Amino acid sequence: DNDKTTIPEGHELIHEGSITMLYPKSENSVFYNPVQVQNRDLSVLMLGMYAERRMERQWISKTRKEVRKEMLQKQHEEKEKEEGKEDTKKKKTKETKEERKARNAQFESDLEARVAERKSTVNFTSLASQSSQSPDGMSVFEA
């Protein structure tokens, strides 16, 4: 190695993936099994996937709230415009239960379509990776 790190007596450097660990050579030291590299790699991969899925669920929840708020605001504004026009005309009859259900179903369908449209532009792998950075810039999912 070109590394000028001084290794204390009774220790060794172990390299695994992008990580280098200072490990005591003593038989009484913490157990390190080099054969388990594949299991550790799999664990890191699963944690990364979990972080990505969690980030995606949080993003969808937040975005649904934002889009719903925008849609309701627009709906409210349109209703106020219609009511202003209706003052000079006779009032509409009350909405039936079926009409209300159909309107709500259409609203939810439009909401899901808008969230899906925004979701298609987001890279959750990148977001999850960025959120897993430690203060020193290392990813907690690097192996």
Query: How much is the pLDDT for 142?
Result: 45
For range 110-114, the mean pLDDT: 95
Structure confidence at residue 137 (pLDDT) = 54
pLDDT at 23 over 60: yes
The secondary structure of the chain, three-state, reads CCCCCCCCCCEEEEEECCEEEEEECCCCCCCCCHHHHHHHHHHHHHHHHHHHHHHHHHHHHHHHHHHHHHHHHHHHHHHHHHHHHHCCCCCCCCCCHHHHHHHHHHHHHHHHHHHHHHHCCCCHHHHHHHHCECCCCCECCCC
pLDDT (0 to 100) of residue 115: 94
Model confidence pLDDT, tens digit, residues 120-143: 998 888 877 777 665 555 554 443
Task: Kindly report, residue by residue over 51-64, the tens digit of the pLDDT.
Answer: 999 999 999 999 99
pLDDT band (50, 70, 90) for residue 80: confident
Ranking 10-14, 54-58, 90-94 by mean pLDDT, the lowest is 90-94
pLDDT, average across residues 96-108: 92
